[in-house]
Amino acid sequence: MSKLRDALQSGRFVVTAEIAPPKGVDISEMLDSAHLLRDRVTAVNVTDQQSSVMRLGSLAACHLLADNGVETVFQMTTRDRNRIALQSDLLSAYVMGIENVLCLTGDYVTLGDHPHAKPVFDLESVGLLRAAKQLERGSDMSEKPLKGAPKFFLGAVVTPGANPLEPQLFKMEKKVAAGAQFFQTQAVYEPSRFESFMQYARQFKVPVLAGIIPLKSAGMARFMNNNVAGVYVPEALIEEISKADDKYRKSLEITARLINQIRPMCDGVHVMAIGWERKVPDILDAAGL
Amino acid sequence: MYTITKQKTGQELKESLATFDSLYVIGCGTCATACHTGGKAEVMSMKTMLQEAGKTVTGWMVVPTPCDSLTRFAIEEESDRIASASAVLVMACAYGVQNVAAFTEKAVIPALDTLFFGMEGAPGQFSEVCLQCGECVLASTGGICPITSCPKGLVNGPCGGTKEGKCEVDASRDCAWTLIYNRLKKQGRLDLMRKIQSPKDFQKMTHPRRASVIA
Ligand code: SF4
Ligand code: SF4
């Protein structure tokens, strides 16, 4: 049974975090981070070859984390596997006790470290959600019966700061219709913009966890503004962090403030620490979570 | 529409021609002429280049359309000069190369890489607009093809990587789904974007495809 589903249904403000499997087989750091997070978050997302960079697989990492008492969200992109492999991995996940699956299309292949690889994209996020739903109904995408049907708690992503926003909202609506039961968003830095997104998103009646990326420096903010789609760090925040003497304290302060500003608007936060996994407890302490 | 080609690098050509000391060169009067990759001018400079590299050029011709069936007769007419060459170097797209290969016993070497079928926008500027997927979706996408113009071939709307209307894969290119959205919005047909589309049927693209159009 998914603890994440229970927590979201209970109406509690839920916290999830994110871990990237290592590039290689030394899993010690990943397990250390997981232990630090275990008692502080409801579930830990495990990324799937994030940014198209080849790494240890998400499914294996989820399994290892589960062995260590950590509930996971298995992130699955459609970039590297066709529908046969995707459905098979969904079944594999279920038999290993992994129910939370975040269905993504994934970044394009040329953005990663194997730009010569064949991009698959046989399905996309919406198709993957539908495939998982179909498996739950006891048959595969070709209507062939399954010996035992899995049960998932399916998630999807949305970018509240996208420009134009309307096509993203249409896609969000499709994801809900296709079976998404919760959303985790791209990083939020503008509570007012997020609020108007939530006013629209509320109609779908699915829980939304706002994406939180701790701002480490002005350089990082500028990098995201220039390179990351749908993320906009306001100039005032950039100035605030660049003027601070103790950047770490300031970062915690800004992150905690953001979390508390958006707390009344949504169902939880999804903290993507990107290298700061071990500092997530500090962030949550600062935010009073 | 043209088949867009690009000349292979000198190094690659040198390697594929290493074992041949005499060549017959065939150019293309249509697409490769338009692309400046296999027209008369390029055939002439190839001839010079080969001779400078110590090869013998036994003859050359620019076939009007090397990809059609008439090419057989052009090859027959030149059979003596082709026979005295150790290989035929074809400066046409891969259709031309394979067609030539079907009509001669000689080793056939492509001088070009075939890139895509291009539609001409501004003069001399070509872009790929169709991947021949076998189940055209243009009716619901405002006449803009997401299978081709979106690198991920998404059928249900934009990915999260679209930034201010540009594509995550190449910021100099428009996001296909933003273009589709703008077009459908203008037409008052945005409802089309809210309908879930089934995954593509890739069986329709199983290679090699064949068609018989005899009545
Ligand atoms: S959907 Fe695109 S790729 Fe398929 S036939 Fe139409 S234009 Fe070509
Ligand atoms: S940015 Fe637009 S065109 Fe580029 S991959 Fe995403 S949806 Fe496709």
A58-67 helix and A83-95 helix, angle to the nearest 10 degrees: 0
Domains of chain A from N-terminus onward = 3-280 (3.20.20.220)
Q: pLDDT over 90 for what percent of chain A? A: 97
- CB-CB under 8 Å, B152 with A163: no
Per-residue tokens: A286: 């600062």
Distance B30 CA to ligand 2 centre (A): 33
CA distance linking residue A17 with residue A83, whole number of Å: 28
Q: State the smallest CA–CA distance between residue A69 and chain B in angstroms.
A: 32
Ligand nearest to the CA of B197: 1
- CB-CB under 8 Å, B194 with A173: yes
CATH number of B2-116: 3.40.50.11860
pLDDT tens string B168-211: 999 999 999 999 999 999 999 999 999 999 999 999 999 999 99
pLDDT tens string B114-154: 999 999 999 989 999 999 999 999 999 999 999 999 999 99
Per the prediction, chain A carries an average pLDDT of 96
DSSP secondary structure code for residue A160 in this structure? T
Task: Name every chain B residue with its beta carbon within 8 A of the beta carbon of A164.
Answer: 165, 178, 181
Mutate to test the interface with A, among B141, B150, B163, B203 (most CBs of A within 10 A): B163
Residue that the structure tokens 């470290």 belong to: A113
Contact by Cβ (8 Å): A247, A237: no
Q: Which residue's alpha carbon is at the smallest distance from atom 8 of ligand 2? A: B150
The ipTM (two decimal places) reads 0.94
Task: Determine how many CB atoms are found less than 10 A away from the CB of residue B11.
Answer: 7
Residue B215 has pLDDT above 90, yes or no: no
- Going from N- to C-terminal start, the domains of chain B cover 2-116, 130-196
Task: Name every chain B residue with its beta carbon within 8 A of the beta carbon of A166.
Answer: 181, 190
HSE of B208, CA atoms in CB hemisphere, 13 A:
2
Q: How many residues does chain A have?
A: 289
DSSP secondary structure, B73-96, as one string: HHHHHTHHHHHTSSEEEEES-HHH
Identify which of A176, A216, B200, A173 has the alpha carbon closest to the alpha carbon of residue A224: A216
Q: Tell me the helix, strand and coil percentages in chain A, rounded to 5.
A: 45, 15, 40
HSE of B139, CA atoms in CB hemisphere, 13 A:
4
Identify which of A138, A207, A214, A218 has the alpha carbon closest to the alpha carbon of residue A176: A207
- CB-CB under 8 Å, B159 with A105: yes
Distances (CA, A) of A105 to A51, A90, A230: 11, 15, 16
Q: State the smallest CA–CA distance between residue B174 and chain A in angstroms.
A: 13
CA distance linking residue A62 with residue A68, whole number of Å: 10
Identify which of A210, A275, A220 has the alpha carbon closest to the alpha carbon of residue A250: A220
pLDDT tens string B68-120: 999 999 999 999 999 999 999 999 999 999 999 999 999 999 999 999 999 99
Q: pLDDT over 70 for what percent of chain A? A: 100
Interface membership of B202 toward A (CB under 8 Å): yes
Q: State the smallest CA–CA distance between residue A39 and chain B in angstroms.
A: 31
Strands B2-7 and B112-120, by their bridges, are: antiparallel
pLDDT tens string B3-24: 999 999 999 999 999 999 999 9
Q: Which residues contact B206 (CB under 8 A, 6 or more apart)?
A: none
Residue A20 has pLDDT above 90, yes or no: yes
Contact by Cβ (8 Å): A72, A2: no
Identify which of A287, A280, A211, A286 has the alpha carbon closest to the alpha carbon of residue A40: A280
Q: How many residues does chain B have?
A: 215
